[in-house]
């Protein structure tokens, strides 16, 4: 997508290393960073320099390639894979990407592994871009239909950052918005700030502004009010893990928006690229929910008027806090999934109609 008028992705190869946009520095500074080992990639995922389910998967794939470039022995690769998979628990793309690279490279001789790992990672990256572009096409149809019906800008609510910064390019939930905007369909995005880390305020607001898409920032708890006032036509969010039954783990606060959408008759769509579907899980209750440092709740980070990064405490000293990073929205509250193969009902049957090749794994007994 565009940054200061130039095309940019979130992750790219730079010689023997991999480069990323350090998302902990946005929106105040655009800083890139070179990662030279799988440990550095794992650190970047853990600390959320790279974040968002698809981008975490792409970064982890490159992490495996960097590990193989150093030492392609099976034990070393297994250790690197375990460290990467443990770096964040909820987004299933991480396990999916690491497993895919491991499966490919363990099937060949050691000396062939470094080149093959890099090739496989490169393919995962390009596939992510293609998947998101296709999600954009399918989702644009939904926006265009509302635009035709209402004859005014389409009001879209989103949560967290499921834009291009959460992927290699285009985004998932925001891909339809960018495609519609680029086609000349008038849109306006309500950006929920997304406490505690404020990915909406920091990242979504930044990337929409860079692309010139009209948007307004609101606090998370404003979503219900906006819907009651008739100010939201569609909600579109991302997903970190969608089960075969259609339950959705996404950034904490997604569930409450889905409840408000249902009560107000607002269509609630989840943009779901296939690598974020966990075909081995049925119930969303089995999805591991990441718990992060309570300091992200008791403190807040911002930028002073003098242009300095500041972290300030919000709560009384030593105030107990808990920091659930994700919640699960049950399939019954989801109007549909926007996937790279089209829009499906939020159910096992709906997903399998688009992805029949998963029929077998989706009906196997659930993993614990
Ligand atoms: O904790 P984050 O910032 O990695 O969480 C990101 C989200 O919850 C996104 O909505 C999700 O990954 C889907 S993004 C395409």
Domain-by-domain residue ranges, the chain?
A: 2-127, 133-367
Indicate if the pLDDT at residue 102 is higher than 60: yes
Indicate if the pLDDT at residue 364 is higher than 70: no
CATH code at 2-127: 1.20.120.420
pLDDT band at 6 (very low <50, low <70, confident <90, very high): confident
Of all protein residues, whose CA lies closest to atom 10 belonging to ligand 1?
Answer: 238
% of the chain at pLDDT higher than 70: 98
Indicate if the pLDDT at residue 367 is higher than 80: no
In b/e form, how buried is each residue of 142-178, taking b as 16+ CB within 10 angstroms? bbbebbeeeeeebbbbbbbbbbbbbbbbbbbbbbbbb
Tens of pLDDT, residue by residue over 29-83, are 999 999 999 999 999 999 999 999 999 999 999 999 999 999 999 999 999 999 9
**Ligand 1 environment, Cβ below 6 A:** 51-54, 91, 160, 162, 166-167, 172, 199, 238-240, 250-251, 325
Looking at 104-108, 221-225, 362-366, which range is the least confident one? 362-366
pTM, two decimals, is 0.96
Catalytic hit among 240, 247, 278, 327: 240
Tens of pLDDT, residue by residue over 14-24, are 999 999 999 99
What's the confidence (pLDDT) of residue 50?
A: 98
> Which of 175, 147, 159 is closest to 338 using CA atoms?
175
Q: Residue 358 class from Cβ within 10 Å (0-12 exposed, 13-18 middle, 19+ buried)?
A: middle
Distance in Å, CA 225 to ligand 1 centroid? 24
Of all protein residues, whose CA lies closest to atom 14 belonging to ligand 1?
Answer: 162
% of the chain at pLDDT higher than 90: 95
**In CATH terms, is domain 133-367 a member of 3.20.20.70?**
no
Task: Assign 355 to helix, strand or coil.
Answer: coil
pLDDT band at 319 (very low <50, low <70, confident <90, very high): very high
What's the confidence (pLDDT) of residue 221?
A: 97
Of all protein residues, whose CA lies closest to atom 2 belonging to ligand 1?
Answer: 52
Q: What are phi and psi of 266, to 5 degrees?
A: -90, 125
Indicate if the pLDDT at residue 338 is higher than 70: yes
Ligand 1 atom nearest 160 alpha carbon: 10
Indicate if the pLDDT at residue 232 is higher than 50: yes
Ligand 1 atom nearest 56 alpha carbon: 4
Range 265-287 average pLDDT: 98
Q: Residue 42 class from Cβ within 10 Å (0-12 exposed, 13-18 middle, 19+ buried)?
A: buried
**What does the CA dihedral 65, 66, 72, 74 come to, rounded to 10 degrees?**
-70
- Among this protein's residues, is 240 annotated catalytic? yes
Range 249-273 average pLDDT: 98
Distance in Å, CA 151 to ligand 1 centroid? 32
Distance in Å, CA 358 to ligand 1 centroid? 24
Number of Cβ within a 10 Å radius of residue 308: 9
Of all protein residues, whose CA lies closest to atom 8 belonging to ligand 1?
Answer: 251
Ligand 1 atom nearest 199 alpha carbon: 3
What's the confidence (pLDDT) of residue 363?
A: 59
Tens of pLDDT, residue by residue over 177-190, are 999 999 999 999 99
What's the confidence (pLDDT) of residue 368?
A: 44
What's the confidence (pLDDT) of residue 366?
A: 57
């Amino acid at each position: 997508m565009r940054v200061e008028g130039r095309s940019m992705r979130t992750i790219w190869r730079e010689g023997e290393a991999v480069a990323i946009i350090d998302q902990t520095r946005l929106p105040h500074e655009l800083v890139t960073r070179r990662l030279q080992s799988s440990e550095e990639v794992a650190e970047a995922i853990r600390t959320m320099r790279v974040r968002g389910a698809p981008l975490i998967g792409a970064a982890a794939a490159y992490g495996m390639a960097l590990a193989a470039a150093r030492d392609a022995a099976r034990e070393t690769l297994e250790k690197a894979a375990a460290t990467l998979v443990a770096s964040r628990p909820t987004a299933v793309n991480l396990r999916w990407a690491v497993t895919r690279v491991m499966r490919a490279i363990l099937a060949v001789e050691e000396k062939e592994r470094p080149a093959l790992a890099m090739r496989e990672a490169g393919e995962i990256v390009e596939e992510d871009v293609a998947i998101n572009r296709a999600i954009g096409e399918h989702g644009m149809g939904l926006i265009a239909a509302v635009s035709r019906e209402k004859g005014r800008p389409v009001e879209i609510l989103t949560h967290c950052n499921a834009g291009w910064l959460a992927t290699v390019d285009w985004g998932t939930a925001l891909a339809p918005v960018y495609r519609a905007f680029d086609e000349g369909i008038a849109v306006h995005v309500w950006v929920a700030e997304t406490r505690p880390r404020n990915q909406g305020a920091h990242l979504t607001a930044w990337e929409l502004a860079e692309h010139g898409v009209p948007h307004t920032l609101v606090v998370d708890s404003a979503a219900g009010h906006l819907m009651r006032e008739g100010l939201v036509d569609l909600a579109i969010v991302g997903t970190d893990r969608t089960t075969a039954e259609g339950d959705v783990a996404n950034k904490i606060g997604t569930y409450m928006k889905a409840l408000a959408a249902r009560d107000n008759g607002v269509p609630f769509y989840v943009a779901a690229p296939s690598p974020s579907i966990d075909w081995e899980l049925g119930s969303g209750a089995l999805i591991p929910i990441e718990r992060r440092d309570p300091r992200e709740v008791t403190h807040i980070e911002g930028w002073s008027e003098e242009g300095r990064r500041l972290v300030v405490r919000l709560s009384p000293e030593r105030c107990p806090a808990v920091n659930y990073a994700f919640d699960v929205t049950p399939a019954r509250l989801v109007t549909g999934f926007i996937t790279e193969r089209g829009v499906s009902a939020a159910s096992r049957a709906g997903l399998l109609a688009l992805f029949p090749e998963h029929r077998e794994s989706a009906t196997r007994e659930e993993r614990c």
